[in-house]
């Protein structure tokens, strides 16, 4: 995918350079940031802010994550093209587009039907075809497991157990864990059938991960 409008293309390149200065170094992630038209994932009246490094509101009181956060989580995933990744919280679809751009086989779940439908339409129009599901991310997708990587883009208070069981041995999950005020970016590696290792990577603020589905 490439951004056809020169103005937005140069803004996306500028954003990627800014994230590199903030410490993102994974080339595949930076190239993806420079290639995905973020302005297509926000409301038309917010387009002028689309390439600023800040979160923006989307429908149903949710947010499109800050570009730095998207890049940081993507970098922690250390994705290789062809890896199978499960995202929880499709939201606007922007992060899913970044994962597609990196060349991953993408599965993504959203609990709001409205967001599921609108992100699917948008992604397909732009030529991205991740596997999108309307459902409760706490359940994961057992029928498509195991996954090389799992990325959670909403904040659970505790690590979702069922999702750990859907990781490949040797794979890992990136998840912001905490209460509504602040969360710790956490990596959980599955080292064996029943063994996991955890590491912490800084404070972030996400919308909460909530149970069940809504229209």
Report which of 128, 139, 184 is spatially closest to residue 161, judged by C-alpha positions: 139
Q: Which of 103, 191 has the CB closer to ligand SAH?
A: 103
The residue (of 144 and 195) whose beta carbon lies closer to ligand SAH is 144
- Provide the 8-state DSSP code for 51: T
Question: Quick check: 128 binds ligand SAH (CB under 6 A)?
Answer: no
d(CA 83, CA 87): 13
131-170 residues in contact with ligand SAH (CB under 6 A) are 136-138, 153-154
Would you say 110 and 134 are in contact if contact means Cβ atoms under 8 Å apart?
yes
Q: How far is the CB of 209 from ligand SAH (least distance, A)?
A: 4
Q: List, as one string, the DSSP characters of 107-165.
A: EEEESBHHHHHHHHHHHHHTT---EEEES-GGG--GGG--EEEEEE-SB-SS--HHHHT
Shortest Cβ distance from residue 64 to ligand SAH (Å)?
Answer: 4
> Does residue 65 have an active-site annotation?
yes
Which residue number, 61 or 195, has a Cβ lying nearer to ligand SAH? 61
Identify residues 192-211 at the interface with ligand SAH (CB under 6 A).
207, 209-210
What are the tokens at 213?
């589905």
- Residue 176 backbone dihedrals phi, psi, to 5 degrees: -85, 115
Question: Out of 12, 30, 36, 88, which residue is the one contacting ligand SAH (CB under 6 A)?
Answer: 88
Does 64 bind ligand SAH (CB under 6 A)? Our answer is yes
Q: Is 37 one of the binding residues for ligand SAH (CB under 6 A)?
A: no
94 binds ligand SAH (CB under 6 A): yes
Q: Which of 15, 36, 65, 183 binds ligand SAH (CB under 6 A)?
A: 65
Instruction: State residue 173 phi and psi, 5-degree precision.
Output: -115, 140
Which tokens is 33 given? Answer: 């940031």
Binding mask 102-121 for ligand SAH (x = CB under 6 A): -------xxxx--x------
Contacts of residue 158, defined as CB under 8 A and 6 or more positions apart, other chains included, come to 177
- Contact residues: ligand SAH, CB under 6 A: 62-65, 88-89, 91-92, 94-95, 109-112, 115, 136-138, 153-154, 207, 209-210
Which residues carry out catalysis? 65
């Amino acid at each position: 995918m490439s951004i056809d409008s020169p103005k937005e293309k140069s803004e996306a390149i500028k954003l990627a350079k800014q994230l590199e200065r903030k410490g993102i170094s994974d080339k595949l992630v930076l190239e993806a940031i420079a290639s995905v038209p973020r302005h297509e994932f926000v409301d038309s009246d917010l387009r002028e802010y689309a390439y600023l490094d800040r979160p923006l509101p989307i429908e149903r009181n949710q947010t499109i994550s800050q570009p730095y956060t998207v890049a940081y989580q993507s970098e922690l995933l250390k994705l290789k093209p062809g890896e199978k990744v499960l995202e929880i919280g499709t939201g606007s679809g922007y992060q899913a587009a970044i994962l597609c751009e990196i060349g991953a086989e993408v599965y993504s779940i959203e609990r709001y039907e409205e967001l599921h439908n609108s992100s699917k339409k948008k992604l397909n129009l732009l030529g991205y075809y991740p596997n999108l599901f309307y459902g409760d991310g706490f359940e994961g997708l057992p029928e498509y497991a195991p996954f090389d990587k799992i990325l959670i883009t909403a904040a659970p208070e505790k690590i979702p157990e069922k999702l750990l069981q859907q990781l490949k041995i040797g794979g890992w999950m990136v998840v912001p864990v905490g209460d509504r005020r602040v969360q710790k970016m956490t990596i959980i590696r599955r080292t064996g059938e029943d063994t996991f290792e955890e590491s912490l990577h800084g404070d972030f603020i996400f919308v909460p991960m909530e149970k069940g589905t809504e229209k």
